[in-house]
Amino acid sequence: MRFPAYPLIVHDPFFSIWSFSDKVNVDYPRHWTGHNFDPMGIVRIDGQAHTFLSRPRFYTEALPQTSLDVTATRTIVQFQEKDITLKLTFTTPLLPDRLDILARPVTYLTMDLQNTGKKKHAIELYLDSNATPAVASNAQSVTWGRLQTAALDILTMGSVSQNILGTYGDDHLIDWGRFCLVVPKSEGFTTGYHRAKEGRGMFVKTGLTMDSDCSDMPSAAVNIVAYARTVLNLKPGESASRRLMFAYDDVYSIEYLHTRLRAWWYHFIPSFSDMLDVANEDYPEIVKLCDKFDKRLAADANKAGGKAYVSVCNILYRQAIAAHKLVESPDGHPWFFSKENFSNGCIATMDVTYPSTPLFFQYNPDLVKGMLEPVLDYAATWRWKFPFAPHDLGTYPLANGQVYGGGEKTEENQMPVEESGNVIILADAMLHYANDMEFVKKYYPLFEKWAEYLVQYGEDPEEQLCTDDFAGHLAHNANLAIKAIVALAAHADICKALGKKAEAAKYRKIAEKYAKAWPKKAAGNGHTVLAYGQPDSWSLKYNLIWDRLLKLNLFPASVFQKEVDFYKTKLNKYGIPLDSRQDYTKLDWIYWAASLTGNRKDFDAITKPILTWLQECPTRVPVTDWYWTTSGEKRGFQARSVVGGCFIAMLQEK
């Protein structure tokens, strides 16, 4: 399949490098925001230079690319020139059941060469990168140097200023820490630093590089490159393989209530160079683990939604994880902080967590717990004064308190029913998918308080924002009411699990009462409405899905079937609009709506336009979740974690 963009080196909101084109050697690789990065790969075959990574320059031609394939953990690119084949494999081991490995900011690049002809070929292989992954501006001054271990030559580059966790924002790049080109000494590379233009040009012309490291530092980030070069002579039928690693040391990753937190891998390994040594030693095992997980995910997706669904899940998997950072909490737990990429830059947003969780409930609920705990710990402090759940914890990477709407100071523009419902539903899901009694017991007082808020305000929500806040405020939101009703039944589940029988009966009775009244309140002209009292309006009732997943049995099957049958009448070329107000949609909510009946034919009918959209989407960015269903163009957002919601069909099977 053709996709809007392809993951190359994809770890977290700062260390995230993609190809925005179908060929990885016709344009610059880019950060998810669209900012250019500039690694460059060149191969000389019998003295003729070809570019295999980044935009061709210095009178080189693009090495002819023959295929580009994406699995959950790997992007594999193949090239062919005369008798020489080159295969690049970018392996990013985001293994959900091995958080110690997932947290390592390391991508492996394996370059496999083969001579398929009948004569010997001289091959000179070169790969470099400048310091742009480590700065906010290409003109920013950087320094560089080497770390040496017994097994590795580590070339590092970083900004002069090193203002650690000193800035924050949405369209925002890191400018602290060190970007690293990591070269195993056993691979036979010559390494060094040289000026980008002169050094690359010299290699293209002669196959040689500068004799010594460039030392006239500091320099603008775009002007200096760390490189690795090797020479191979391949006989007929002979093959060779070479491996490098790209890595990033961000020193500190997140600030939580003014305490700096390190990446989760520090929980296991004391230093960055030690971590790289372990990553290098683990490579043979990691290849096996990635292959095993890729097959597992493909089998799960195929069972739930067929071959096309496998492709969708493959392209979304790394994106969903890499919109987070996995860090060690102050008391030694794994915490998983999301960033709202190109929506507002918030960190740990509850209504971004909510749609993303199907992926994580499927493969490791501890990651959902790692999203919820920092928000709940914050809500339990004196700083959060409201009777409903918070929206966020700040602006990435600073999780120092809510900033959305009125922040901590006012109820204006908050999402009280939305966020309270989100937390309680996900807490019950922690019981359902992880049987985590300790979690719900610890935070029960918050769930109780927020459930009471939903009793009072959830059945018919007042004018307020919901997660679809781009559509504006809305009163009497029928889909938001569903969330409140489901959350009250979910809270009854929690009460029952904790032995609170009277409370369980109370909330279950209220939820059933509200659910019984909902179809009549939401009735429109042959369908359910967007908002009570607007008979010609309609919307996707995606919140209904948790009634099925948590086996709450609040709404009859006829409600689900009627919804899905109506959605089929509203299909545009690239999907179903979110509601009757505009023809844009949300990718995650389409998959939730398609899963409402649990019927494969319904699922296929509603999701089929998405496959067309992915192959024809005119906006070349990491997959957007908010787009126009008629033109296919991006309406907003990209590279967000909410695409984890597209894995929801797997939870039906689970």
- Mean pLDDT of the region 118-140: 95
Question: Hey, what amino acid is at 479?
Answer: N
What band does 222 get if pLDDT is binned at 50, 70 and 90? very high
**What is the pLDDT, as a whole number, of residue 506?**
98
Compute φ and ψ for 627, nearest 5 degrees. -145, 165
Closest by Cα among 375, 373, 308 to 613: 308
321-342 pLDDT tens trace: 999 999 999 999 999 999 999 9
Residue 107 and residue 91 in contact, taking contact as beta carbons nearer than 8 Å: yes
Cα–Cα distance between 296 and 109 in angstroms, integer? 23
Residue 134 has pLDDT above 80, yes or no: yes
Number of C-beta neighbours around residue 501 at 10 A: 10
Share the mean pLDDT of the chain.
96
Which pLDDT belongs to residue 410? 86
Mean pLDDT of 137-156: 95
* pLDDT at residue 117 in the model: 93
d(CA 145, CA 155): 6
What residue segments make up the domains of the chain, in order of their start?
A: 415-555
**Beta strands 39-45; 30-31: pairing state:** unpaired
Give the residue from 574, 437, 455, 451 showing the smallest Cα distance to 497. 437
| Distance separating alpha carbons of residues 35 and 647, to the nearest angstrom | 29
The contacts of residue 147 (CB under 8 Å, 6+ apart) are: 154, 156, 180, 272, 273
Residue 257: pLDDT band with limits 50, 70, 90: very high
pLDDT number for residue 111: 98
Cβ contacts of 23 within 8 Å, gap of 6 or more: 62, 65, 68
> Is residue 168 predicted with pLDDT exceeding 90?
yes
CA 458, CA 413: separation in Å to the nearest integer? 17
Q: Which of 21-30, 278-287, 330-339, 407-416 has the lowest mean pLDDT?
A: 407-416
Identify the residue whose tokens are 């909330």: 507
Q: What pLDDT, in 10s, does the model give residues 476-491?
A: 999 999 999 999 999 9
Is the pLDDT at 215 greater than 90? The verdict is no
Q: Look-up: residue for tokens 């389409």?
A: 590
pLDDT value at residue 527: 94
The whole-number pLDDT of residue 382 equals 95
Could you tell me which residues come within 8 angstroms of residue 535 by beta carbon, excluding any fewer than 6 positions away?
523, 524, 525, 529
Instruction: Give the model confidence (pLDDT) of 605-649 as tens digits.
Output: 999 999 999 999 999 999 999 999 999 999 999 999 999 999 999
Summarize the confidence of residues 443-464 as an average pLDDT: 97
Structure tokens at 96: 């959900």
φ, ψ at 285 (rounded to 5°):
-70, -40
What are phi and psi for residue 57, nearest 5 degrees?
-145, 180
- Distance of alpha carbon 38 from alpha carbon 129, whole angstroms: 6
The two three-digit tokens of residue 420, written as one number:
């309270």
What CA–CA distances, in Å, run from 15 to 18, 105, 253? 10, 8, 11
Dump pLDDT digits (tens) for 459-481: 999 999 999 989 999 999 999 99
Contact 135, 221 (CB under 8 A): yes
Q: How far is CA 17 from CA 36, 170, 357, in A?
A: 9, 16, 24
Residue 50: the pLDDT is: 97
CA atoms within 13 A on the CB side of 229: 23
Residue 477 to residues 462, 492, 521, 633: CA-CA distances in angstroms? 8, 23, 11, 27
What is the tens place of the pLDDT at every residue in 33-51? 999 998 999 999 999 999 9
CB atoms within 10 A of CB 410: 10
Is the model's pLDDT at 409 over the cut of 90? no
pLDDT average, residue stretch 586-596: 97
CB 487 within 8 A of CB 421: yes
pLDDT for 643 equals 98
pLDDT at 250: 97
User: Using an 8 Å Cβ cutoff, are 509 and 449 in contact?
Assistant: no
Query: Among candidates 176, 320, 324, 147, which has minimal Cα distance to 245?
Result: 147
110 neighbors 287 (Cβ within 8 angstroms):
no
What pLDDT does 411 receive? Answer: 84
Nearby residues of 390 by Cβ (< 8 Å), 6 or more positions away: 350, 375, 378, 379, 384, 402, 419
Strand partners, 474: 464
pLDDT above 90 for 573 = yes
pLDDT for 651: 92
The pLDDT assigned to 82 comes to 87
Residue 212 has pLDDT above 90, yes or no: no
Cβ contact 9:17 at 8 Å: yes
Amino acid present at 464: Q
| Percent above pLDDT 70 for the chain | 100
Structure confidence at residue 592 (pLDDT): 98
DSSP 581-639: TBSEEEHHHHHHHHTSS--HHHHHHHHHHHHHHHHH-SS-SSPPSEEETTT--EEE--S
DSSP of 153-218: EEEEEEESS--TT----SS----SSEEEEEEEGGG--EEEEEEHHHHHHHHHHHS---SS-----S
Helix (H, G, I), strand (E, B) or coil at 268: coil
